Amino acid sequence: MIKYAITLTIVLALPLILSGEPWKLDSNLNFSLTQSTYSSSWVGTELSNVTWLSSVNTSAEKQLKPWLQNKTTLKLAFGQTHLQKTNAVGDKYWAKPEKSTDKIDLESILRFTTNAWLDPFVAARMESQFIDLSDNTLTRVINPILFTETAGVIRTFVETDNNFLSTRFGAAFRENLDRDVLDAATNERDTYSTVDGGLEMVTEYKHNFSPIDANLKSRLQVYQALFNSKKDELNEDWKSPDMMWENVLTAKLWKMLTVSATFEARYEKEAVHELQWKQLLGLGFSFSLL
């Protein structure tokens, strides 16, 4: 319940935090669309498709007190792919759209600015998705939810107009909630909860390619679990470190027209015993909201 209270307080307090002055605000909306169409006389196995992706990235940063700094970030993304398929008699039809991207990521960090080589910090993070389609019999909204609370030390190595490099390290506690899970034995649904704790390291890097309007953002997160509340029900995979590496390169071509390249790699042995990665290349529109 403490984890819920901490995260819920941050979420509810966010509008109040943003109402203060002065805040260093950064927010933009991106939308990209790719489409391909083939005539009925086209010779080949290619099929028409439409893919769209919309994302919002917002951050608010402020020195609340001479000794206390807050930075809150919110990342939202959702996209779908519409595929044309062929039935048994050779007729083409548009299938139901499939989800291609889905992310909700809210994080708030309180940094105690001591002017020392290392600063203490506490952080809370909530990660989820808009639509959970893992159960064929029930569509769940904002599920599952991963809460993470971290406390440790942080160091900013570089902070200029064009470059930023920071690393934080600390103890972390995570709770993963999976709602309305179907029990095959009883045919009843219940909430499944797993709690674990360990060590976490996060390194963030940002580079602005001045004078052109382009930037690179990179985030590397490594988590090593030391205990798990369900260890008696799990195999040894939970002891393996989790890794997430996100890279986003964005360049503005003309006014609101932008091109972006995203590369994400992750390793979670509990889910898949191999390195997972995805790459996205998009051309679309970007709007600065703040």
Is the distance from CB of 115 to CB of 149 less than 8 angstroms? Answer: no
Backbone angles phi, psi at 217, to 5 degrees: -120, 130
More confident residue, 255 or 222: 222
Q: At 1, is the pLDDT very low, low, confident or very high (cuts 50, 70, 90)?
A: very low
Contacts of 210 (CB under 8 A, 6+ apart): 161, 162
Q: What is the CATH number of domain 2-36+46-288?
A: 2.40.230
pLDDT of 160 above 60: yes
Q: At 41, is the pLDDT very low, low, confident or very high (cuts 50, 70, 90)?
A: low
Q: What pLDDT is attached to residue 123?
A: 95
Give the mean pLDDT of the chain: 86
pLDDT of 289 above 90: no
Q: At 40, is the pLDDT very low, low, confident or very high (cuts 50, 70, 90)?
A: low
pLDDT of 283 above 50: yes
pLDDT of 29 above 90: no
pLDDT of 223 above 60: yes
Residue 137 Ramachandran class (φ > 0 left, ψ -120 to 50 alpha, else beta): alpha
What digits encode the pLDDT tens for the residues 229-267?
988 888 889 999 999 999 999 998 887 888 888 899 999
More confident residue, 208 or 253: 208
What digits encode the pLDDT tens for the residues 64-108?
889 999 999 999 999 999 888 878 887 778 888 999 899 999 999
Is the distance from CB of 131 to CB of 99 less than 8 angstroms? Answer: yes
Question: What is the rounded CA–CA span in Å between residue 221 and residue 277?
Answer: 15
More confident residue, 164 or 236: 164
pLDDT of 11 above 60: no
Q: At 12, is the pLDDT very low, low, confident or very high (cuts 50, 70, 90)?
A: very low
Is the distance from CB of 237 to CB of 218 less than 8 angstroms? Answer: no
Q: What is the rounded radius of gyration, in angstroms, for the C-alpha atoms of the chain? A: 22
The whole-model pTM stands at: 0.86
Q: What pLDDT is attached to residue 162?
A: 93
Contacts of 121 (CB under 8 A, 6+ apart): 109, 110, 111, 112, 150, 151, 152, 153, 154, 168, 170
What digits encode the pLDDT tens for the residues 125-154?
999 999 999 998 899 999 999 999 999 999
Q: Show me where the domains of the chain are located.
A: 2-36+46-288
Residue that has been written with the tokens 């890097």 in this structure: 205
SS3 string of 144-182?
Answer: CEEEEEEEEEEEEEEECCCEEEEEEEEEEEEEEEEEEEE
